[in-house]
Amino acid sequence: MSEMPMIPPPEQTDALRAAFDRLRAGYEAERDPTHAVRIDRLHRLQAMLEQMAPAMIIAISEDFGHRPEQVTQLADIVPVQLAARHARKHLAQWMKTRRVPTGLVHRPGHNRLMRQALGVVGIVSPWNYPGMLALAPAIAALAAGNRVMIKPSEIGPRFSELLRAQVAASFAPEEMVVIVGDAEVGRAFVALPFDHLLFTGSTAVGRQVALAAAANLTPVTLELGGKSPAIVSADADLALAVPRLLFGKLLNSGQTCIAPDYVLLPRSRRDAFVKAMRRAHAAQYPGVAANPDYTSIATERHYRRLLDMLEEARAAGAEVVPLHAEPPSDATRKLPLHLVFDAPPTLRVMREEIFGPILPVITYERTEQAIAHVNAGERPLALYWFGNDEVERERVLRQTLAGGVTVNDTLMHIGQEELPFGGVGASGMGAYHGEWGFRAFSKETGVYHQSPYSAVKLLYPPFGAAFERLLGAMRKLG
């Protein structure tokens, strides 16, 4: 969505509202879908994904210019399949109304916790992982019993249209729909009175989404981004750490919200780190421009932005180290990984989320300096730590705050259905995945059941000695 405020044409607003109203009517007709109904919807979503996978691989690659089939399988298809399987396996347990402890003063009454569907959930998904970031939250919302409305990014028009058609063929319009359109449609979409809205994208646009949702008091889950650090400790095994770091940086050519954005490196290990990175780059990507395993930068605008970042760094006296002999390819929009040393903090590579194959390296002498650097910036969506010293590891983890962490690797925490995934501060709010997603799209309603043998009538006026005795007992027992 563009950052410029614009008003969509009335016909777009009317069509959006009509689609929303159908979903709302579906929810009103079935506020508490049974386990069997929810399982059927999850089965249909997974069947839809498997049917559309070959066309999805082609559409996403065409939207990017080139994207390897294997990247789409790894990042957009398999994670959704696993999420659907996990939800089906655990759904009955998640749906249960459960007893929770009751304070002594309120017995013999008892407490229960109900998880109820909210209604209509809106999902705004980005272009970089268009399948996973549209359908994984949809799985959570459907499992929780909601109706779902998805707005995919206009930057991926082929995939967006494919998803729209496939959802229309697999789901009734009162169950789930996909809305395609430009940034104006996106602005009208987030202004709808959803019962929950999930947005994945930039921090700048996330702020606009939160403002639009606030007009309807719509709760939001914001999955944003930021500058996610990778801290290499003094005792890290570079032969193990560097290939994992490079994989996390160059998957999807760095167009990943949790990609390592910069490295904090002990000064004494600088030369060894550069050599290890060159070896890892040559091993994983021996070529770039003609390499079918290397993803193109998705748009010309973004490609030029990355080149401008490198040029600005060179002009400012930073040391720019290309890790491959090939120059950037304008024809394929493919850019080899570049390390940037000694960059002034005012440069764009130090201030902005890079979202591409550029990796600033900041050297430090003591762990305290690395921690201080992380904490001086906005809270990142991810943090990575490489090393063997458990005391240092726990110190770094406890003295920094990030959306999620992977130790001795990159990216892998996003694939854990048993862990929440979400940002903090400027990198987002709220979380989903697994049961955390089910809970995000549910109302957890506390229910107290009073007993016929309760002494609560002693609290009724007129107040007297019995009231005082009961109040004293409540203070003592509570």
Kind of pairing between the strands at 110-117 and 98-100:
antiparallel
Domain termination residue (choose one: 406, 421, 436): 421
Same domain, 306 and 360: yes
**Residue 56: domain span:** 10-224+428-444
Confidence band, pLDDT 50/70/90 cuts, at residue 478: confident
- Distance in angstroms (rounded) separating the CA atoms of residues 122 and 134: 10
Report if residue 238 sits inside a domain: yes
Containing H/E element for 108?
none
Residue 3 lies in a domain: no
Encode pLDDT of 411-442 as tens digits: 999 999 999 999 999 999 999 999 999 999 99
According to the model, what pLDDT value does residue 5 have? 39
Over the chain, what is the mean pLDDT? 96
| pLDDT reading at 224 higher than 80 | yes
**Res 477 pLDDT > 50:** yes
Question: How many domains does the chain contain in total?
Answer: 2
DSSP 144: T
Give yes or no: residues 324 and 206 share one domain: no
Q: What is the pTM of this model?
A: 0.95
Nearest CA among 203, 257, 200 for reference residue 228:
257
- What does the pLDDT read at residue 4? 38
pLDDT tens digits, one per residue of 65-80: 999 999 999 999 999 9
Confidence of residue 236 (pLDDT cuts 50, 70, 90): very high
For the cut 80, the answer to whether the pLDDT of residue 300 exceeds it is yes
Q: 4 in a domain, yes or no?
A: no
For residue 72, give the CATH number of its domain: 3.40.605.10
User: Of 169, 180, 200, 127, whose CA–CA distance to 437 is shortest?
Assistant: 200
- Domain membership of residue 451 (yes or no) is no
Q: Alpha helix (H) ranges present in 65-114?
A: 69-72, 78-95
pLDDT at 2 over 60: no
With beta carbons less than 8 A apart as the criterion, state whether 115 and 131 touch.
no
Instruction: Please check the confidence at residue 242 and state whether its pLDDT lies above 90.
Output: yes
C-alpha 101/C-alpha 103 separation (Å) is: 7
CB 27 within 8 A of CB 173: no
Closest by CA to 227, choosing from 392, 360, 418, is: 360
pLDDT band at 14 (very low <50, low <70, confident <90, very high): confident
Residue 9 has pLDDT above 80, yes or no: no
- Are 322 and 305 within one domain? yes
- Predicted confidence band of residue 11 (pLDDT cuts 50, 70, 90): low
pLDDT the model gives residue 8: 56
Q: Which residues contact 295 (CB under 8 A, 6 or more apart)?
A: 64, 66, 67, 68, 71, 252, 253, 255, 334
C-alpha neighbours within 13 Å on the C-beta side of residue 54: 1
The one-letter code for the residue type at 320 is V
Residue 6 is predicted with a pLDDT of: 47
> Do 262 and 191 share a domain, yes or no?
no
Report the distance separating Cα 349 and Cα 358, nearest Å.
Answer: 8
* Domain identity same for 212 and 94: yes
Quick check: is 142 in a domain? yes
Of the candidates 375, 409, 387, the residue with the CA atom closest to the CA atom of residue 227? 375
Tell me, yes or no, whether 434 and 352 share the same domain. no
CA distances from 73 to 68, 257, 383, 384, 465 (A): 9, 18, 25, 24, 72
**Amino acid type, 252:** N
Taking residues 120-147, report their average pLDDT: 98
Distance (Å, rounded) from C-alpha 356 to C-alpha 353?
Answer: 9
Question: Average pLDDT in the 324-342 region?
Answer: 96
Same domain, 220 and 343: no
CB 396 within 8 A of CB 388: no
Percent of the chain past pLDDT 90, that is, above it, reads 94
Q: What is the mean pLDDT of residues 10-33?
A: 92
Both 411 and 432 in one domain: the answer is no
The stretch 291-305 carries a mean pLDDT of 98
Q: Order of strands, edge to edge, in the sheet holding 98-100? A: 98-100, 110-117, 442-449
Q: What is the pLDDT confidence band of residue 3, given thresholds at 50, 70 and 90?
A: very low
Residues with a catalytic annotation lie at 223, 257
Domain at 339, CATH number: 3.40.309.10
Residues 390 and 439 in one domain: no
Whether 31 is covered by a domain: the verdict is yes
Q: How many CA atoms lie within 13 A of 366 on its CB side?
A: 3
Residues 337 and 433 in one domain: no
Tokens encoding 89: 């396996």
- DSSP 3-state assignment of 231? strand
Radius of gyration of the chain, Cα coordinates, nearest whole angstrom: 25
Together in a domain, 385 and 264: yes
- Mean pLDDT over 219-225 rounds to 96
Same domain? For 199 and 292 the reply is no
Residue 1 has a pLDDT of 43
Give the integer Cα–Cα distance in Å for 354 and 308: 11
Q: Is residue 1 part of a domain?
A: no
Q: What angle do CA 179, 180, 183 make, to 5 degrees?
A: 110
* Inside any domain, residue 465: no
The rounded distance, in Å, linking the Cα atoms of 266 and 319 is 17
